[in-house]
Amino acid sequence: MPFFLLIFIVIGIIAANKFAKLAASKGYQASKARRYPYLLMIVAIGAAVILFLIATLIGKSVPHYQSLAHAIFVAGNCFVIGVNVLILRKAYKNMQGAPDSRSKT
Delimit the domains of the chain by residue range: 2-96
Residues 73-103: pLDDT tens digits?
999 999 999 999 999 999 999 999 988 877 6
Under a CB-based contact definition with an 8 Å cutoff, are residues 36 and 91 in contact? Answer: yes
Q: How high is the pLDDT of residue 2?
A: 83
Q: What Cα–Cα distance (Å) separates residue 2 from each residue in 8, 67, 81, 83?
A: 10, 19, 14, 19
Whole-model pTM: value is: 0.85
pLDDT (tens, 9 = 90+) of the chain, 105 residues, equals: 789 999 999 999 999 999 999 999 998 888 889 999 999 999 999 999 999 999 999 999 998 988 999 999 999 999 999 999 999 999 999 999 988 877 655
Under a CB-based contact definition with an 8 Å cutoff, are residues 98 and 77 in contact? Answer: no
Distance of CA 13 to the CA centre of its chain: 10
DSSP code per residue over 68-104: HHHHHHHHHHHHHHHHHHHHHHHHHHHHHTSPPPTT-
